[in-house]
Amino acid sequence: MKKFWLLFAICYVLFVSLLPALGKKDADEVKYQNDEWLLCITEVDYSLLPPAHRLAGNVLTRDLVDRLKLVSYRLRISPEYAYYEGYAWQQAINTAAKAVSTKQNERSQLIYRGDPDWKYRSNLKKIDADLVKLQEALAEKEAERPLIEREPVFGLIQANLNGTYPAPPKAGGERRFCQSQKADAFLTGAIREFHNRYYIHLKLFTLYTNSWVYEDDIIFSMDDADGAVEEIAARLSTVLAGNKPASIAITVDPPEAQVLINQSYAGKGTIPERERPPGKVIIATAAEGYTPITVETELAPAEFTDVAITLSPLYYTDVRINAPGGEGASVYHGALYVGEAPLVLSLPLGNLEYVTVESRREMGKGVFTTPDLPSDSFGISLKMKIPPPSGQRRVNKARSWYYWAWGGTWITGIVAWITYGLYSNQTAVLEQSSDPAFYDSTERLGLISSGAIIAVGVAITYEIFQMMRYMYTASSDVTPLVKGDRNK
């Protein structure tokens, strides 16, 4: 009996000692949100395939979809994680705030229910207690960001799993399409024939970037279809699975230089290390007084790339702008007003420049290249003239007259060819006929043929005139290339 109680005591002590640990494990268990990453595959465009080949295109699409089903997870990089973290946080706050608002409305409606005083106070006390709890829950949601799954399970939307592929959205409706399909991204593409081969073009849109992030294409024959589909599926699977992020740091001299990465402003001078999705990036740098530089580089997954750029200073030379007969006219460098003619401009060396001189009625303009050495003095003279009317109406009118003249030449030429042929045939048999009517008919036909030949000459002359008029009208407003006077 003593052994039994001793064993019971030992088991009780062990159970009591392990109970806090078990409770702590349950309390410390973390629940991650957004643990799925769903892709929607839209209907593939077969409209450019011959009808006989559309079945083969359908087979290629199914093979590609079957290979994408093998992707099991996606690795989220920092920008994607931040997007879903902010989205989930906002959703949680909105839900908690809505509950508080609903409870406050319920409290406000108590006074209108007509309950007895004791019941009103009892209900009010209960609602106030609930309201305190809901406000505390809202404060907790505002203070804590939710945890997002960094490696969510990859999958296709249910419609795709059922063999249904929705029509792709029109331009501008990509984000709404993702939201309506409850997908994190969608894949669209087209298959067409290209010189007896198949050409597949695919594009991937992701919700968190609100843009197209991937584009790929491949050309192959039907004999190589399996290998081609496997190749493009492998490249696409790498993107869908989420490569490990790359990182890049940029240093630009001078420090005040503006830096853009893929047309997005990144900062000035030194850009500290930041994560980027793997792939091609275009870095554009510019600073006042320096030559802009654009650099293109490829970022590899999980690798750090350090880019150092040094801008070259711009060197200037003086260019004198003259406008004979247009002294005092306004001078524009591009679209910027810079003074009155004659004028000396300080312009970068070896640059293509555009200058316009405008008076009340006349205008002169020109494109020129500045000298290569700062020691060269350079001057250009712009010819002033009354500008032609703006717009394309006069050019369209001249083109129309030219086409009519061209058509008239063909018509008169055909008439002259037919009448001359008839006249030649009748002349050949004229000696064998003694009919005066046939002689008169041949003579009239000869006059008609001669008139038709003369009309052809007039039509050709008129066509040449209209062609020259059209060429002059179309080029009258073209900016001329101006050669300046250089004196060393």
Residues 341 and 289 in one domain: no
Structural domain includes residue 6: no
Residue 237 in tokens: 């699977």
83 shares a domain with 68: no
15 located within any domain: no
pLDDT computed for residue 461 by the predictor: 93
Residues 223 and 294 in one domain: no
Domain end point (choices 270, 288, 310): 310
The parent domain of residue 104 ranges over 79-143
Dump pLDDT digits (tens) for 301-320: 778 899 999 998 888 888 88
More confident residue, 386 or 451: 451
Q: Are 331 and 316 in contact (CB under 8 A)?
A: no
Give the 3-state secondary structure of residue 73: strand
What would the mean pLDDT of 380-406 be, rounded to a whole number? 83
Q: Are residues 184 and 253 in the same domain?
A: no
Q: What is the pLDDT of residues 233-289, one digit of tens each?
A: 777 777 777 666 678 899 999 999 999 987 778 888 888 887 776 777 889 999 988
DSSP lists the bridge partners of residue 310 as 253
Residue 228 sits in a domain of what CATH number?
Answer: 3.40.50.10070
Query: pLDDT digits over 345-365, tens only?
Result: 888 888 888 898 998 888 888
Are both 68 and 85 inside the same structural domain? no
338 compared with 433, residue with greater pLDDT: 338
The pLDDT value recorded for residue 25 is 44
Question: Do 115 and 98 sit in the same domain of this protein?
Answer: yes
Total of domains in the chain: 5
CB 152 within 8 A of CB 178: no
Which residues have C-beta within 8 Å of that of residue 315, sequence separation ≥ 6? 348, 349, 374
Please check whether residues 71 and 84 belong to one and the same domain.
Answer: no
Residues 263 and 296 in one domain: yes
Does residue 284 sit in helix, strand or coil? strand
Most confident by average pLDDT, 9-18, 46-55, 107-116, 407-416: 407-416
- Bridge partners of 313, per DSSP, are 290
Residue 174 pLDDT exceeds 50: yes
Domain assignment present for residue 28? The answer is no
Give tens-digit pLDDT for 391-402: 667 888 888 899
In a shared domain, residues 270 and 232: no
Tens digits of per-residue pLDDT, 205-219?
Answer: 988 888 888 888 888
- The CATH number assigned to the domain holding 375 equals 2.60.40
What pLDDT does residue 17 have? 53
Average pLDDT, the chain: 80
Of 294, 290, 309, 284, the closest CA to residue 348 belongs to: 290
| Residue 323 included in any domain | yes
Give yes or no: residues 275 and 215 share one domain.
Answer: no
Structure tokens at 193: 């024939």
174 and 215 both lie in a single domain? yes
Q: Which residue has the higher pLDDT, 84 or 446?
A: 446
Domain match, 173 and 228 both: yes
The maximal CA–CA distance of the chain, rounded, in angstroms, is: 159
Report how far Cα 207 is from the mean position of its chain's Cα atoms. Answer: 16
Mark which of 241, 275, 292 sits at the end of a domain: 241
The pLDDT, as a whole number, for residue 180 is: 92
pLDDT score, position 237:
75
From 143, 167, 192, give the residue that closes a domain.
143
Residue 481 has pLDDT above 90, yes or no: no
Cα 309 to Cα 287: distance, rounded to the nearest angstrom: 12
Write the single-letter amino acid at 368. Answer: F
| CB 486, CB 376: distance < 8 Å | yes
18-60 pLDDT, tens per residue? Answer: 555 444 444 345 567 778 889 999 988 888 888 877 777 788 7
Q: Above 80 in pLDDT, residue 298?
A: yes
